[in-house]
Amino acid sequence: MAEKYPITLQKDEKVIKVMRRHPARLVLDIILTIIIEIIVLVALVWLRNITSSWEWLGLLWTILIGIAIVGGLLFIGIEFYRYRNDVWLLTNQRIVDSTRTSPFNQTVSSADLVNVQDMNFHKRGVLATLFNFGDVICQTASQTQHFAFRGVAKPEDVLHLVDSHRDLARHRMYNPEGNEGSG
């Protein structure tokens, strides 16, 4: 089954690479959520136990514990949904950033590769360095000033890939009849 893209491809447009956040980034977000969830649950159980002499307050703490558990599970579900639905595409003609924070909220931006002016990448922190993920920032000449591929695997490789396809797109634009070369 072919992957469904968040855009309709233009004539002669081919997808070079589909990118998502590095899976380690998702796991780290889920671990952080679980740690916060445990702290909140321990505090709520402790409060329920020290106020157990007031029956109505014990019921309130139990309700809050239930809400905290459901909220934590919901947050983990949202993180996984965003991981699956935040997609960056590199095609032979453009870069595309598609963000879907819920089934009812989607933002799609694109810029022609020939409009990409400056690019850089950065890794922040020990975990990003250890798992080799980071952000690739592409400055453009279009209305949207920059595209950020956040938390992608091997950001230096992504930067090189965008850079080489940008050069090919510029070559096609300035030499429409000429050969593209063997690169």
User: Domain for residue 92, yes or no?
Assistant: yes
Q: Is the pTM of this model over 0.85?
A: no
Co-location of 164 and 97 in the same domain: yes
Q: Is residue 8 part of a domain?
A: no
Cα dist from 126 to 28, 131, 133, 134, whole Å: 12, 9, 10, 11
Low-confidence residues of the chain, pLDDT below 70? 1-3, 142-145, 178-183
**Structural domain tally of the chain?**
2
Q: Tell whether 64 and 103 lie within a shared domain.
A: no
Question: Are 152 and 119 contacting, i.e. CB atoms less than 8 angstroms apart?
Answer: no
Q: Is residue 121 part of a domain?
A: yes
Tokens representing 174 are 């300035």
Residue 152, SS3 per DSSP: strand
Residue 37 resides in a domain: yes
C-alpha 138: how far from chain center:
15
List pLDDT tens digits, range 73-114: 999 999 899 888 889 999 998 999 888 888 888 888 888 888
Domain-embedded: residue 98: yes
Same domain, yes or no: 148 and 116? yes
95 lies in the same domain as 72: no
Is 100 in the same domain as 156?
Answer: yes
pLDDT of residue 71: 93
| CB of 153 closer than 8 Å to CB of 133 | yes
- Say whether both 65 and 92 belong to one domain: no
Q: The CATH number of the domain where 151 resides is what?
A: 2.30.29
Asked whether residue 2 is assigned to any structural domain, the reply reads no
Task: State both tokens at 156.
Answer: 């230096």
The reported pLDDT for the residue numbered 67 is 94
Per DSSP, helices labelled H in 21-154 are: 23-50, 55-85, 125-131
Residue 51 lies in a domain: yes
Same domain assignment for residues 120 and 170: yes
d(Cα 153, Cα 131) in Å, to the nearest integer? 8
Domain boundary among 81, 101, 120: 81
Residue-number span of the structural domain to which 50 is assigned: 27-81
pLDDT at 162: 92
151, part of any domain: yes
